[in-house]
Amino acid sequence: MSAVQASLPDGGTDRLGRRGRGMLIVLCGAIFLEGIDASMMNVALPSMQDDLDMSPSTAQWVVSAYILGYGGFMLLGGRVADLVGRRRTFLFWLVVFLAFSGLGGLATTPWVLILSRFVTGVAAGFLTPAGLSLITTNFAEGPRRTRALLIYAGIASGGFSFGLVLGGLLTAADWRWVFFAPVILTAVVLAGAVRLIPPDRRPERSPHGFDVAGAVAVTAAMLLVVYAVVRAAEVPVAETVVVGAAGIVALVAFVVIEHRSAAPLIRLGVLRSGALVRANLAAILYGGAFFGFVLITTLYLQQVRGWSPIQTGLAVLAVSIDAILSPTLTPHLVRRFGNARVIFGGFLLAVLAYALFLRIDVDWTYAAILPTVFLLGLSFSLVYGPLTITATAGIAGKDQGLAGGLFNTSFQFGAALGLAVVTAVSIAVAGTDTSRAGLLAGYRAALVVPVVAVVLGTVVAALGLSANRRRDEVPTRGA
């Protein structure tokens, strides 16, 4: 608790007192849980694939189902948190998360495993915006909220990187432990949440209820688009076109529903904010690159290099440097240079990190892997937290759940799309060749995808720099 207290706002006392610090610890515990739950699957995937006799495209859905459930219901989760109550929403879906994590550990068929991951992702889709809005509504906008969000983001990314190591350790015993371990941690977080999260203030009441139709439409759109991409290398072109077109139709339907709904998931007017749009575009590209890279890297290390799950987890341990840098170095950089410059620098580091990994070979050593992993951890610490701040700054308190949900939806949709694209490229290039050379060829081709994504993200970040520069020049011209 003292570490969190020391990292809270510069100057002054914490107006929330001990209970407020306790609440921040609980929320950080929940986002840490979600991070390790997502990343452990990457390391355990080859073992699950072998044990349950899954094809590569089916195995990919163990990861993608969670991400799609997560991203697909994030917007509804944010709206429910705003209207029903943030504490109430957080506690209910934490229980669902616990139950379906346990179901995954008991699965004996692929469909049960994938179903459990999807529902667990849906639960996370409600938990994350509720937790984020609990922070943004209890910490006033400014240095206090900025530092709290950077701590929260650092714990989130640290959970993901630590999950890669923990996943290796648990898989070495039995892959089912990557499901049972989160059950234990969820129970601990739940006990703390009941005690430390303060009761909801009277939430805003809406006579129009919730936009369930919008949530179904946006989830269907993401599912169909990702499914079309994943299956592109294995089915006729006509089928890919039809499924992809259905996804676009669902997306158009979502926009129409939001325009006509009395209680939309997204008030389309909020998209007039250039900063918010740029933050979400950057989140899509960064999330896609990061998740796609992690999947291909863990498969490469285990299936081409022949490393064990433990060795694989330890190989990417350096990514966890972001958990240290996000709450310590990043706040100082943001105060000195601003969010836009820090985000731009983080994207440049990601371009370098992924480009270095394009040279992978069948006999790469850990020394060859380390520079990319280290640079990626540094990049994540510079991008994720400042993007979170940019996406929620200037948003009214009643819409903080919406803003947080929109940002996390973008990140998770990018992750799902990135996983789908790298899987499709890898399968298309490798074909039926499962030799080390064949797999390596597929993985090399797939690794081009993260490079392209972060190059595009760098362009988006540069637009943010330009917009900030123009805004700063306005007072000068008027002087």
* 116-136: pLDDT as tens digits: 999 999 999 899 888 888 887
Q: Give 70-99 pLDDT, tens digit per residue.
A: 877 877 787 788 788 888 999 999 999 999
Tell me, yes or no, whether 238 and 344 share the same domain. Answer: no
Q: Which of 224, 249, 265 is the last residue in one of the domains?
A: 265
Tell me, yes or no, whether 379 and 363 share the same domain. Answer: yes
pLDDT confidence of residue 452: 97
Is the residue at 386 inside a domain? yes
Contact 414, 284 (CB under 8 A): yes
Number of domains comprising the chain: 3
pLDDT confidence of residue 417: 87
Tell me, yes or no, whether 260 and 274 share the same domain. Answer: no
pLDDT confidence of residue 21: 74
pLDDT confidence of residue 184: 94
Tell me, yes or no, whether 42 and 57 share the same domain. Answer: yes
Residue 468 has pLDDT above 70, yes or no: no
Kindly state the helix (H) or strand (E) to which residue 105 belongs, with its residue range: helix 86-106
Lookup: tokens for 321: 């440097």
In whole angstroms, what is the distance from residue 244 CA to residue 203 CA? 39
Residue 10 has pLDDT above 50, yes or no: no
Q: Which of 146, 164, 197 is the last residue in one of the domains?
A: 197
For residue 133, count other CB atoms closer than 10 A to its CB: 28
- More confident: 456 or 204: 456
- Mean pLDDT of the residues in the chain: 83
In whole angstroms, what is the distance from residue 313 CA to residue 381 CA? 19
The pLDDT confidence band at residue 369, using thresholds 50, 70 and 90, is very high
Is the residue at 97 inside a domain? yes
Tell me, yes or no, whether 425 and 384 share the same domain. Answer: yes
- More confident: 106 or 230: 106
pLDDT confidence of residue 55: 81
Check residue 203 and report its DSSP letter.
Answer: P
pLDDT confidence of residue 114: 92
Domain region containing 33: 19-197
Residue 477 has pLDDT above 60, yes or no: no
pLDDT confidence of residue 206: 57
Q: What is the CATH number of the domain that holds 188?
A: 1.20.1250.20
Is the residue at 163 inside a domain? yes
Is the residue at 68 inside a domain? yes
Tell me, yes or no, whether 254 and 282 share the same domain. Answer: no
Tell me, yes or no, whether 257 and 293 share the same domain. Answer: no
Q: Give 176-224 pLDDT, tens digit per residue.
A: 999 999 999 999 999 999 988 888 776 555 555 667 888 788 878 887 8
Is the residue at 2 inside a domain? no
Lookup: tokens for 99: 């139950």
Tell me, yes or no, whether 234 and 300 share the same domain. Answer: no
In whole angstroms, what is the distance from residue 165 CA to residue 438 CA? 27
Tell me, yes or no, whether 349 and 448 share the same domain. Answer: yes
- More confident: 285 or 158: 285
pLDDT confidence of residue 7: 37
Is the residue at 479 inside a domain? no
Rounded average pLDDT over 394-398: 65
- More confident: 181 or 150: 181
Is the residue at 11 inside a domain? no
Tell me, yes or no, whether 163 and 38 share the same domain. Answer: yes
Q: Which of 148, 173, 197 is the last residue in one of the domains?
A: 197
Tokens 């006392």 locate to 13
Tell me, yes or no, whether 60 and 138 share the same domain. Answer: yes
Is the residue at 206 inside a domain? no
Tell me, yes or no, whether 42 and 177 share the same domain. Answer: yes
pLDDT confidence of residue 213: 85
